[in-house]
Amino acid sequence: MGKILVTPRSLSKNGHPYLEKIKEAGHEVLFSTPGVQPSEDELLKLLPECTGYLAGVEKINSKILDSAKKLRVISRYGTGTDNIDLVKAKELNIIIKKTDGANARGVAELTMAHILAAVRSIPMHDQAMKLEKWERVMGIELGGKTLGLFGCGNIGQMVARLALAFGMTVKAFEPYPDKKFSEPENFSYSTMDEVFKCSDIISLHCPPSSDGITLINRESIEKMKQGVYIVNTAREGLINSADVIAGIESGKIAGFTIDAFDTEPPTNWDLAKNRKVVATEHIGAFTRESVERMTLFAVDNLLSALDEVKGK
């Protein structure tokens, strides 16, 4: 019936039984280079012959979309759509689907792992021990501390619940607060400035601004507490890396963590190499359970949308 391009790195490298559902529906499955984020050139080569696209985090710009004359559906393997030119997609009547909630548990648990790793300097201590050095760094406890969230959707809400279980107070900035989500104690929605000013730890769970203005930059860092920890398991585009490094060097930022980069692997390693930075390789949703849920949701979304198009 048509060709379907599959590009998420875990799927292009290892495949998945749920992809058989696409073949059973009569479609041919194409893969980008196994385990590698596809380039613009590769997408320009592969997409023009495809009616469906099960997409990862690679940039899908207007040039790519214009070249894909047969494309009807993009099913995102994840929840973010900031990598897609949505205006062009709408202009071309391309349906966009995403796997809301499928990776929330995996990203939320990694966020807490990042927080604990940062406040107790676990990577630094581990590295010292492997070098047969004894270099203890004093940490802090989470109980009684304030966690500030930017974004309180599926992932942010789960992070809030986990943080509350540690005895933290949680304040969240969310432009569209979910009135159904409320905790009886120690959780509240707050203004952006209040979250910046009162948080001991700040965690990011929102998309980057469409205008390119970063959320974490020199001006916002100045509003924060001395010795703040910042956790970014969302997007690199939310931060100004140079300002973060300057904040670390000045002591304003006690620790920083990051899981997702604009280019993967990154082309600039300065942030990841900093001793006070915990960096991981975009593993937030890279758990057995999240991969299962996201693959199933993404495949079902793709097939149902293609059926919808076919029925028109």
SS (H, E, C) the chain: CEEEEECCHHHHHHCCHHHHHHHHCCEEEEECCCCCCCCHHHHHHHHHHCCEEEECCCCECHHHHHHCCCCCEEEECCCCCCCECHHHHHHCCCEEECCCCCCHHHHHHHHHHHHHHHHCCHHHHHHHHHCCCCCCCCCCCCCCCEEEEECCCHHHHHHHHHHHHCCCEEEEECCCCCCCCCCCCCEEECCHHHHHHHCCEEEECCCCCCCCCCCECHHHHHHCCCCEEEEECCCHHHECHHHHHHHHHHCCEEEEEECCCCCCCCCCCHHHHCCCEEECCCCCCCCHHHHHHHHHHHHHHHHHHHHHHHHC
Catalytic residue among 27, 76, 105, 235: 235
Q: Is 205 a catalytic residue?
A: no
Q: Is 282 a catalytic residue?
A: yes
And the tokens for 159? Answer: 């992070």
Q: Is 264 a catalytic residue?
A: yes
Catalytic residue among 27, 76, 282, 293: 282
**Separation between Cα atoms, residue 94 and residue 225, nearest integer Å:** 45
**Separation between Cα atoms, residue 93 and residue 73, nearest integer Å:** 9
**199: phi then psi, degrees, rounded to nearest 5:** -85, 135
Burial (CB count within 10 angstroms: exposed 0-12, middle 13-18, buried 19+), residue 212: exposed
Catalytic residue among 40, 42, 109, 264: 264
Catalytic residue numbers read 235, 264, 282
